[in-house]
């Protein structure tokens, strides 16, 4: 578990086509809560089981996708530390002032070799609803929708996965928990800065800066089935599942928000420790690695990105 440096994913900013339909999807169906709407029209959401101000930002745009993902660092001094390391690597770093998003302090941002913008920040206000800390019940507000407990991770597509692996492990101090090696080189990587099986992942793709999915953690396998019931009841487009991954061992279902951004809800997965070796899959077993029960890949899963 990280005790210094980068702690965990904090929030992600998604582009959506229809704001109200998106708010309904992420609140009524996935089970988040709306915290506030900014003066620029961006909407801020979180789970009732998260302390920090928000974990999902929705921005109205003409095409779907992800603007950036932000990771929280333990100490304010970590921002200067990682700024120096990123610049020494050769990437440009910019600054975002405190208050650009409500409740969030100053941030730094940079682009990784796969094309995605990554931001780091230290300060986040707390916002309601959030877990109790004195004689706490297991929940404050009765869970609703899919009962998502937190924004958990994101998977991105882009070129230069090899360089992205080097950047995250050598510059940002992540560990590579799993990888897929094909005859022509590295296909995919799963990276963690915590004890989770992954906090972010990348798959090789010819176009840079593509989003595959954002994921929300559920409590257990029964909740994944409950999510499937909700998806069917409200005719939400399902990609695949419920099923299980070989990679990470997570139990999962994939579906799409009203704008076409892929979502995942999942439960389970193994715990990771820094002394664990990287688990490796080869090309002959990649289908089983991604979808353990089906043992073959879904074409839409490979090709649909935003």
* CB of 178 closer than 8 Å to CB of 248: yes
Catalytic site residue 213? Answer: yes
> For the chain, where are the E strands, in sequence order?
6-16, 33-37, 43-46, 56-60, 65-73, 94-96, 107-111, 117-121, 150-158, 175-182, 185-192, 200-204, 210-217, 238-244, 250-256, 262-268, 279-282
Instruction: Point out the catalytic residue in the list 50, 119, 178, 264.
Output: 264
Separation between Cα atoms, residue 19 and residue 235, nearest integer Å? 19
In the numeric block, which tokens belong to residue 249? Answer: 């061992």
DSSP state of 268: E
Instruction: Point out the catalytic residue in the list 33, 122, 198, 212.
Output: 198
Using only C-alpha atoms, the chain has a radius of gyration, in whole angstroms, of 18
Catalytic site residue 134? Answer: no
Separation between Cα atoms, residue 292 and residue 257, nearest integer Å? 25
Catalytic site residue 254? Answer: yes
Separation between Cα atoms, residue 6 and residue 105, nearest integer Å? 15
Catalytic site residue 54? Answer: no
Catalytic site residue 198? Answer: yes
Instruction: Point out the catalytic residue in the list 82, 121, 157, 254.
Output: 254
Instruction: Point out the catalytic residue in the list 25, 54, 153, 212.
Output: 153
51 — alpha (psi -120 to 50), left (phi > 0) or beta? alpha
Instruction: Point out the catalytic residue in the list 25, 53, 213, 226.
Output: 213
Catalytic site residue 245? Answer: yes
Catalytic residues: 153, 198, 213, 245, 254, 264
């Amino acid at each position: 578990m990280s005790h210094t440096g980068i702690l965990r994913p904090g929030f992600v900013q998604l582009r959506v086509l229809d704001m109200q339909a998106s708010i309904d999807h992420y609140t009524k169906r996935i089970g988040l809560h709306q915290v506030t709407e900014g003066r620029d029209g961006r909407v801020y959401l979180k789970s009732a089981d998260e302390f920090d101000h928000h974990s999902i930002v929705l921005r109205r745009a003409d095409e779907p996708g992800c603007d950036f993902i932000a990771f929280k660092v333990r100490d304010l001094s970590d921002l200067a530390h990682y700024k120096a390391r990123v610049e020494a690597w050769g990437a440009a770093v910019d600054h975002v002032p405190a208050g650009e998003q409500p409740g969030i302090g100053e941030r730094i941002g940079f682009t990784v070799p796969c094309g995605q913008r990554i931001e780091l920040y230290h300060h986040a206000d707390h916002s309601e609803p959030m877990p109790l800390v004195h004689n706490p019940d297991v929940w404050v507000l009765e869970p609703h929708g899919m009962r998502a407990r937190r924004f958990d991770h994101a998977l991105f597509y882009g070129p230069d996965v090899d360089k992205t692996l080097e950047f995250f492990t050598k510059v940002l101090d992540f560990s590579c928990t799993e990888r897929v090696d094909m005859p022509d080189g590295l296909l995919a990587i799963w990276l963690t800065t915590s004890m989770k099986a992954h906090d972010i992942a990348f798959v090789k793709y010819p176009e840079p800066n593509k989003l595959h999915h954002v994921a929300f953690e559920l409590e257990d396998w029964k909740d994944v089935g409950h999510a499937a019931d909700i998806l069917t009841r409200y005719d939400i487009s399902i990609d695949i599942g419920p099923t299980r991954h070989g990679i990470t061992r997570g139990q999962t279902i994939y579906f799409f928000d009203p704008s076409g951004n892929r979502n995942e809800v999942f439960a389970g997965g193994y715990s990771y420790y820094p002394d664990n070796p990287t688990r490796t899959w080869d090309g002959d077993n990649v289908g089983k690695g991604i979808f353990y029960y089906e043992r073959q890949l879904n074409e839409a899963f490979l090709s649909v990105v935003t």
